[in-house]
Structure 1
Amino acid sequence: MVSSVMWDGTEADTVKGTVSPHLTRLLVRAGLAAGLDRSRLAGVPDLGVLNQNGIRIPTATIMRVWELVSGPAWEAGGSKRVMELWRPGALGVWDYLFCVSGTLGHALDAASRHLTAIADPADRFLTVRDGDGVTVTYQGPYRDHPQYPLIGELVPHMLLVLASSATGRRLTPVRVRLPQRASTASQRVAELYNTTKVEFEADHPSITFAAADTDVSLPRADPALAAILEDHARLSTVAARPVWKWLDRFHAALESAVAEGPPGLDEVAGRLAMSPRTLQRRLREEGTTWRAELEELRQRRVQHLLRETSLSVDSIAARVGFTDSRSLRRAVHRWYGHGPAAIRASGSA
């Protein structure tokens, strides 16, 4: 049965399009530790406020950080490197929901209910109990984003690290499912998740914990404190102050529109409570245009879909908003100088 789903509606309205800065801090630290040039972070909006309390930053900011740190961080250890930097409290009150809950199963339920304490309201954990134990599946709106395979790798590992910390021992999952294609680095993947039972090309990343692990009382269980921390997670999220710049708001609205289908200028303008003409004027003031922003977004998504899925060119064209496959092929030639087949065959653009 499904034991927990999404977020509180009021909470979602107040923090839509934002995340807490906690995970962004870990990603930045992992990138810098792996050799990322700090100057490359200079143009990322709102990184200067990461250490402030009581704020939320645009989701577009953490997605940009993912793009910058993915190369050096993942070459130097990836998800393992990020979570090696984690200490209890590094993810705010959300961390402590794990250790003080009655059982690991209760902890996973609480973490699912309050995922917005660290993530965008569009993200969610779905926890399901069955004969194998408890499965936590991550569902978010980033499936077409080039960095989604890395997000899909980190989330189950993050849950495994937090669950192991809460139980006081290294857990072995029943199963891990990942959205990316099977990797040749099978030893690294097995070490990352402490199991060889890893399945690839899943619709969504997930991790399954054995019933023997989820049903036993946690060593630091404190039901009264757990209830207090759940209230704190909800209230602190609602009370957090979003840090926005106009272009960040535009990017968040565009990403949100794309998650629901090919975006139109009128639709995105409506999401920003302005007329299409005003939206075009504001974009010009920011040194960009609707066409340029849409082109950049389409390029990222087409590249990801060609590299990470087996969807046909016709299907990708429809999903990304091209009129037909010929339009997509012309765009790919314009971007890279060769056709979609070359990107799919080489695994990189």
Structure 2
Amino acid sequence: MAEATVGAHLVRLVLDAALSCGLSRPELALVHGLPGDLPGDDLLRLPTDTLARLWERLLEADTRPGTGARLAQAAPLGALGVWDYVIVNSRTVAEAFRNGVEHRKVISDPGTRAEVIEDGRTLTLRWQGAIHQTAAAAANHEFVLSRHLWYVRTATGRTVTPVRVEFANPAPRRHHDLVALFGTDRVDFGARDNEISFRAEDAERPLPGADLRLGGILRRNAELMAAAARPAPGWLDQVRSAIADAMAEGELSQHVVGRRLMVSPRTLQRRLEEEGTGWREEVDAVRRELAELLLRDERHTMRSVAARLAYADARALRKAMRRWNAVA
């Protein structure tokens, strides 16, 4: 599994929340590492930093305290893919937490530290994510702890109240919303860890709707998914794909490629500069790759390949090939 990545489901959830708060797709397209099209896929991974930047954008749009907790409570079952179903198809609340921690890598960064602590009096979930930006990390931890409370209440059908909730981040100016969302006034800040605790009797509550046979299948699937997970295409990969598509349609230009990526030509140029490259370099890279591929097939002539790659004529393609070979 790629380091410093998270599951696409969580990224999509925060992205959709940002869109619902009035941010536009072109604005959010500027978030580094975010694909133009984000499918719901348990195997797809995106940079953890992309999730952090999305949290930051969401917090700019939704300035009320408790943004992460509200999102966790509003997201339907299945919003986090297989991880949701692994947790709710467990025998008891305690087992649900243990299963979630064991299989957390299908949704969280591999560097996430999490554990379930049982001392006979309380059941505690301790969670330390891999996002380090203060505001984004706080929202992310709000989300995780609140989501586990949602699991408990949804799966048991009871309004279970936590014994206490602790956050490592400093206290916000107001946290009445968090008190209301968690249902307890024992919400503390500046703690050593991020934790949510329940009474032992709540920990042993059965989950009446759980399908234990299905739960076993899902846990095995989660293990396979963690092993087979793949990173989403990087931004330059997306640019080159858009260039190739524009070439194939005979309308290669920065305006057309920018439209495919939902950014302006100026933004496209700036992003390429930030990546240490430029428009001409990326067009040239795509042309070289496609030329090598197409010319392996004897049915393609130099003239037809030149036209396919938006060259003026075959002579221009030959000149480019001499340059590529000289560099190689």
Match of 1:82 in 2: 71
Change (3 A) 1:19 1:144: closer
Query: Cα offset for 1:144?
Result: 5.1
CA distance in 2: counterparts of 1:190 and 1:184, whole angstroms = 13
Once residues 52 and 24 of structure 2 are traced to their aligned partners in structure 1, the CA distance between those partners, rounded to angstroms, is 18
In structure 2, the residue matched to 1:69 is: 58
> Who is 1:4 aligned against?
none
Decide whether aligned partners of structure 1 residues 145 and 19 sit closer, same or farther in structure 2, where only a CA change above 3 A counts: same
CA drift of 1:185 comes to 2.4
Q: Kindly report which structure 2 residues correspond to 1:240-319, keeping only aligned pairs within 5 A, or say none.
A: 240-245=229-234, 286-287=275-276
Percent identity reads 37
CA contact under 8 A between 1:15 and 1:238: conserved in structure 2?
no
Deviation at 1:85, TM superposition (A): 3.8
Q: Quick check: 1:178 aligned with 2:167? A: yes
Q: Check if 1:233 corresponds to 2:215.
A: no
CA shift for structure 1 position 228: 1.0
1:205 aligned partner: 194
| Paired AA for residue 216 in structure 2 | A
Matched, 1:24 2:14: no
* Contact preservation (8 Å) 2:66, 2:175: no
Between 205-214 and 71-80, report the one with greater CA deviation: 71-80
Q: Which residue of 2 aligns with 1:36?
A: 23
Q: Number of residue pairs matched?
A: 241
The equivalent residue for 2:110 is 121
**Match among 16, 34, 48 for residue 59 of structure 1:** 48
The TM-score normalised by the length of structure 2 is 0.67
Segment drifting more, 220-229 vs 207-216: 220-229
Runs of 4+ in 1 over 6 A off after TM superposition: none
Higher-Rg member (1/2): 2
Report the secondary structure of 2:143's partner residue.
helix
Residue 19 of structure 1: how far off its partner (Å): 1.2
The one-letter code sitting in structure 1 at the alignment partner of 2:20 is A
2:211 aligned residue: 222
Match of 1:259 in 2: none
Q: Distance in 2 between matches of 1:52 and 1:90?
A: 9
Residue 84 of structure 1 and its aligned partner are, at CA, apart by 4.5
Distance 2:69 2:17 in 1: 10
Unmatched 5+ stretches in structure 2: 238-271, 278-328
Contact 1:46–1:61 under 8 Å retained in 2? yes
Given that 1:34 and 1:76 are in contact with CA atoms closer than 8 Å, whether structure 2 keeps it comes out as no
CA distance in structure 2 between the partners assigned to 1:127 and 1:81 by the alignment? 23
**TM-score between both structures, scaled by the size of structure 1:** 0.63
CA root-mean-square deviation: 2.4
Task: Please name the residue that 1:102 is paired with.
Answer: 91
Q: Equivalents in 2 of 1:247, 1:90: separation in Å? A: 28
Stretch moving more, 167-176 or 34-43: 34-43
